[in-house]
A and B are shown apart, each in its own frame.
Chain A
C-alpha cells in the first residue's frame, strides 16, 4: 500500500525550476536561454492604473457621434496635460484640453477615459540562473542550480541579498542584539520571531529580508507590514527552525540568496529560499510527491511530537487507534532521541 504525503524540499544542491510570473498580463522581456542576474527585469506590466474620465459630450454639449468626428486623438494615443483633445470649431475654435498626462484608453458614451501614466511593475529574476521557458504575457521559467529550501509562510514580499545568520541556535529568538553587526542589505537568519519591536528595529537597520523558523501568530500582521520580506520555514508559534534548515543556512553565510514568495491565488506553490551555486553534474530536480518509504526522513507537524524529525521505520498496513480514540493510517517514526513513535500519515511532512 502506497502512502502519499506532503513534503518539504531541503536540498543543499539541486536543479531548481521556478516560475516568475507577473500578477497580470504584461510584457515578457527575457528570452529563452538567456542567463540572468538577480536584478535583471524578466517581465513588466503597468502598475496601479488610475483612470480619469472626461465627460466630453456634456462639457461641449455635443452628441457622441459629433464627438467621434471632432476627436483629435485616437485610442492608445499618449497625451500631455493641456493638449487639445477635441476641436469644436467655430468662432474662437472652442475645444477641450486634456486635464491629465495619460493615454486615451476608451471613448464610452461620449466620455473620454484616460489611463494616467502608470508606473511599471518590474519582475526581477531575483536569482542567478537561466531562462528555460517563456509564458506568454506572464513571465518566465528560471532554472537555477543551488540550495533550495521550501518555506511555509511568507509576508507577501520577495527579495534577494546576502545571507547573515544572526542566531546562535535554531530556536533562538530574534533579538535586538542580533542587529548589532552590520546588517544593512543582509537577509538575516534567526530561530523564531517573538517580539514586534525587533521587526521594526530590523527595518531601521536596513535589512533586506528575514528568514525565521517560526513566528508568533499575533506578529503576522507586523511581519506583513514590514518593508522587507519575512519568510517562515516551519510554522506559527515558538518552535524555531528545523536543525537541517538552520545548518544549511548557516553554511551559506555570505552567499547570495533569493526569497521567492508564494504567488497569490496559486494554490500549493510554496515560498522558497534559493541559494544559487555553481552547477554540479548529477544535481537533479528533486522528486517530491512520491509515496512514503521506510528510511524516509520526516517531520511530524502536529502534537504531541510536533516539529520533531525522525526516520520512517515501519509503515502500518492497518489503521491504528490514536490517543484520542480515532483511527488513522500511519507510520512508526524513529525520532532523533531514539524513541519510536506512531504518527498518522496526515501529520507527516517528508523531508526531501
Chain B
C-alpha cells in the first residue's frame, strides 16, 4: 500500500554545502534548511519532507508505504528508502545517491536534505515478568512504570502467588521474557521474602540459554541491591533503578520507566533488521514513537500553558499522553491492543455486545466477530463500505475505552481537575476517517472530556517524529508544527451537568470576525456543530443553564474567543457521564443523531 501526498510544488531551494554545525550538546547552531522525518510503525512506514520557507517550515511531501520490517522484505530500512524514492519522484528532488544512501547535508544544487530523524514502534513489545511483594503496592507501581514503554506483561509473582517455586521457575523458562522487573520492599523494609524471590529468578534466568536469558531490572528496597547483585552473579545482566515505591505513600516511576525505555531501544529496536542503516542516516538517536509523542505533547502543554492530551490509536498499541505545565508528563502505552494484528484481543477484554452497541445500524454478531479476526490477519487493510467503517470505529471506541481504564489505573491522583486545553489525535484509524468529525466524535464518546478546548489531528502522521527532532532541532520542529503539519479541527464546548432530553443546556451567541451573528440553544442530550472555518475566529458567549457548567461555575456565563477548523465549533451537551440507551433501536437512532450532529 502506498499513500502519497504532495503538499506544494517542489521548489528545491539552495542550501549551504556545509553540514549543519553541531554543538557539543547535540543542538545545531544552524537550523536545517530541509529535513526528512520517518515514523516506522508495525504496519506502515511514513516519511515526510519539510523545507524552510520564509519564516517557517512547510510540509512538502509525505509518503506512506507498508512496513518492510517483516517478511518478505525483513529489512525496515527498505521501506524508508522506498518512501524517500517516492518523495523524490513526487517532488523531482534528488534525495538519495545511486547506492540508495541519503544525501546529507543538502547540496547547493538542491539535492539531499540537512537532517533526518526517525521514530520506531515497529518492534515487538518488551516481554516482561513482574515480581513484587504485594499486588496493590509494589506490583501496581511496577506496572505503572512499565506502562511508559512498549511492554507486554507475561506473568507476575508476588507473595500472594500460590504457585510453588518450581512452578515459578517453570514460568520463566516457558515464557522466555526479555525482562524480569523486580519491585518490592519500601526502603529499609522487607528483605528476606524479596531475596527468596530473587533466588527463584536466578534459577529461572540461568535455565535459559545465553541468547534467551532475560535482563533483570531491580527497582525495590535499596538496602538489598548489593545482595541481589551478588546473588544474580555475573551471568545475569542486572539493571538497578530507584525504588518505584520508596514508601507506602510515595511513588517514583521516572527512573525505572527510563530504564525500561532504554531496554526497549537496546533489545527490541536495535534488533530490527535494517535498523543500523536507519541509524546511519539519522544524525539523532532513534526514539520509541510513544516517547517522542510524550516529548512533543509536553511542548504543546508549555506552548498552550495548559493541559494537553494526545491519543495515538496505532496498529499494535494505544498511547495516551497527558501533559501540563510544571507537571510531570504522563505516558501510558498499551501494547496488547491496537487496530492491527492485536485487534482480536479486544474480544478477550470486552463482550462483543460492548462493541456492537456503538453501531448506528444493526449487525450480526458472527459477522462482526469474523471481521475482527480477518482484520487481525490483514491489519493493513482499510474500510471502503459504510458497515465496515462503522464497525472499525466501534472497535476503536472500545479499544480506547479499555486503554482509558488502564490509563486511569495508571494515573492515580490524575490531573482531571485541570481544564483541558488541547486534544491531539493520531493513529491511522482516526486520521484517515472520511470526515475528521467522525474521529472527534469517537474521542468525545470515549474520553468524555469537559470544558472548552481545541482539537487537532495529526493527519500526516508526523507528530511523534517531529517530537524526536525537537530535542535537537527545536526551531525546525516548532516552525513545522506552526506551518500546518497538524489539521486544526476547531473547538469543543462540553458542559458538565445533568438534565432531561429536550431541556436547554446551553445558549450560545457566536459573532464571527465578519460580524455574522449566530444564536442557538443546544438541548441536553444532543451534540451540535456550528460552522467556523479554519483560519477564522469568533467571539462566543456561552450561557449555560443553571444546572450546567462550562468551567466557570454552574449557570455562569462567559465570553471566549475561539478559532475555527475542519469541523468547527462542537457543542457536546450530552452531559457527563452519558450512557447509551439499552434499547437497540433507540440507541441506534441516538447514535445516528449524534453522528449527524457533527456532520455525518
Contacts and interface: CB of A to CB of B under 8 A. Distances in A.
A325 B366 CA distance: 27
Contact of A25 (B90, B208, B231, B384): B208
Interface stretch (B66-74, B247-255, B507-515): B66-74
Contact of B377 (A2, A152, A346): A152
B1 A220 contact: no
Given A3-B2, A115-B207, A137-B209, A346 B380 contact: yes
Contacts of B3: 319, 328-329
A244 interface: no
A106 B372 CA distance: 47
A56 to B, nearest CB: 14
B211 interface: yes
A48 B71 contact: no
Nearest to A289: B72
Given A53-B166, A323-B385, A346-B1, A2 B207 contact: no
A137 B1 contact: no
A236 interface: yes
Given A106-B206, A235-B374, A345-B2, A2 B82 contact: yes
A49 B42 CA distance: 34
A349 B66 CA distance: 12
Given A216-B370, A270-B71, A1 B2 contact: yes
Contacts of B372: 217
Contacts of B383: 302, 324, 326
Nearest to B74: A268
Contact of B389 (A50, A319, A324, A349): A324
B335 interface: no
A267 to B, nearest CB: 5
A324 B386 contact: yes
Given A323-B384, A346-B380, A108 B373 contact: no
Interface string A248-280: 000000000000000001011110000000000
Interface stretch (B139-147, B429-437, B468-476, B579-587): B429-437
Given A3-B2, A265-B124, A106 B384 contact: no
B198 to A, nearest CB: 10
A52 interface: yes
Contacts of B85: 2
A326 B1 contact: no
Interface residues of A, number: 59
Interface stretch (B168-176, B535-543, B554-562): B168-176
B176 A24 contact: yes
Interface string B39-68: 000100000000000000000000001101
Interface in A26-54: 48-53
A74 B282 CA distance: 52
A238 B371 CA distance: 11
B552 interface: no
Given A50-B166, A216-B366, A324-B383, A302 B378 contact: yes
Contact of B169 (A6, A51, A268): A51
B2 A49 contact: no
B373 A328 contact: no
Contacts of A217: 366, 369-370, 372-373
B202 to A, nearest CB: 6
Nearest to A346: B1
A141 B435 CA distance: 49
B1 A344 contact: yes
Contacts of B385: 302-304, 323-324
Interface residues of B, number: 62
A105 B382 contact: no
B203 interface: yes
A201 interface: no
B277 interface: no
A78 interface: no
A1 B231 CA distance: 59
Interface in A80-139: 105-106, 108-109, 111, 113, 115, 137
A217 B377 CA distance: 12
Interface centre among A217, A319, A325, A344 (most CB of B within 10 A): A217
A235 B378 contact: yes
A46 to B, nearest CB: 9
A153 B65 CA distance: 24
A51 B166 contact: yes
A314 interface: no
A7 B70 CA distance: 12
Contacts of B174: 48
Contacts of B384: 302-304, 322-324, 326, 328, 343-344, 347
B345 interface: no
A237 interface: yes
B165 interface: yes
A243 to B, nearest CB: 19
A268 B166 contact: no
A329 B65 CA distance: 11
B169 A236 contact: no
Given A48-B170, A304-B385, A346-B1, A109 B72 contact: no
Contacts of B161: none
B199 interface: yes
B266 to A, nearest CB: 18
Q: Which of B70, B370, B389 has the most CB of A within 10 A?
A: B370
B546 interface: no
Contacts of B90: 1
A326 B392 CA distance: 14
A163 B59 CA distance: 56
Interface string B312-341: 000000000000000000000000000001
A98 to B, nearest CB: 15
Interface string A303-318: 1100000000000000
Contact of B89 (A1, A48, A238, A346): A1
Contacts of B208: 24-25
A346 B124 contact: no
A168 interface: no
B375 to A, nearest CB: 9
B212 interface: yes
Contacts of B176: 24
29 contacts: A4-B66, A5-B1, A51-B170, A53-B166, A106-B203, A108-B203, A109-B199, A111-B199, A152-B377, A217-B366, A220-B373, A236-B373, A237-B374, A268-B70, A269-B70, A270-B71, A288-B72, A289-B72, A289-B73, A301-B374, A302-B382, A302-B383, A303-B384, A304-B385, A322-B434, A326-B433, A329-B3, A346-B380, A347-B382
Given A24-B208, A108-B231, A324-B384, 6 more contacts: A4-B68, A24-B212, A25-B212, A51-B165, A235-B378, A301-B381
Shortest 10 CB-CB contacts between residues of A and residues of B = A268-B70, A25-B209, A325-B434, A288-B72, A346-B1, A236-B373, A217-B369, A237-B370, A268-B71, A289-B72
